[in-house]
Amino acid sequence: MSHPRVDVVLLTMNDRPEQEKTAQATLLAQRGVDLRICVVGNGCVPDIVPSDAHTVVLEENVGIPGGRNAGARALTESGRPGDYLFFLDNDATFPTDDVLARLLAEADHHPEAAYVQPRLTGPDDATTPRRWVPRLRAGDPSRPGVITTMTEGIVLVRRDAFDAVGGWEASLFAYEGLDLAYRCWSAGWSGWYAADLRMHHPVTSPTRHAQFHRLAARNRIAVAYRNLPASLIPAYLTTWTAITLARSARHGGIRDSLQGMREGWALRHAQARRPMSWRTAWRLTTAGRPPVISTPAHPRSIRSPAGGTP
């Protein structure tokens, strides 16, 4: 009996071997799917590689989106790419052996969705911080529905949508999910949050990484200039800046946030502009997230730019 084929991309810097062994073991235990796996060494030669998996060795750390693109490209070039790509952080685990098969079933049930997002919890299978719920109304993480952003480290993406929009934006280096989500929506797709499907991830804070505040701030400006109609950019950035500064004043990182804002502003015109249509802006609005509302990355919400989650 043939099974649906999924290409899996996993980045590593050989910095968490025990967690990576566990992640790969739960991946290989998935049933009801045919897997092709690519382990990408982001500035290293991967130490842990499953049998028959592809390997990409990058001479330097090119960032999370660039590394993921390299893995997706290697699987394409190896022939017969799968219909879906699954991007997996190297410290995330599947709590049961049917998660991928059920995610594919969700994708079949929602053919309009370019990407399907499982519910992310801590290892206790219950704790879901608000920052991990990929929608504005995050009070009930068990509620499924249409989403306009993504938790990019654990997400299923249709291969044809991924290729059509050009994959991840490598210049962002990290914190790239909103950009890909916007481009998928601009191409006529949407996203789906499959809240009843869980994936496990350690609950950790990225603020121990010096680049967090700077890159998160820089990239918000870059994403706005890349994707929004010109008349929406001031409203988006005004809202985002006010919230970012308020949160930075409470939680720290205001100096790095300001530096990132300066970098983003200085480099804004270097962005490749592909502004969404007003129809897309309206679709985002009716889906619950007008593209003038920006929830900045919380100081405890985003992965390390080193190649996995902190």
Q: What angle do CA 79, 83, 84 make, to 5 degrees?
A: 110
Cα separation, 51 vs 36, in Å, equals 11
214-235 average pLDDT score: 94
Q: Give the mean pLDDT of the chain.
A: 90
- pTM tops 0.85, yes or no: yes
Backbone angles phi, psi at 190, to 5 degrees: -140, -170
Q: Out of 17-26, 179-188, 244-253, which region has the weakest mean confidence (pLDDT)?
A: 244-253
pLDDT in tens, 153-192: 899 999 999 999 999 999 999 888 999 999 999 999 999 9
Residue 147 has pLDDT above 70, yes or no: yes
291-307 average pLDDT score: 51
Q: Out of 24-28, 67-71, 255-259, which region has the weakest mean confidence (pLDDT)?
A: 255-259
Query: pLDDT value at position 152?
Result: 87
What percentage of the chain reaches a pLDDT higher than 70?
Answer: 92
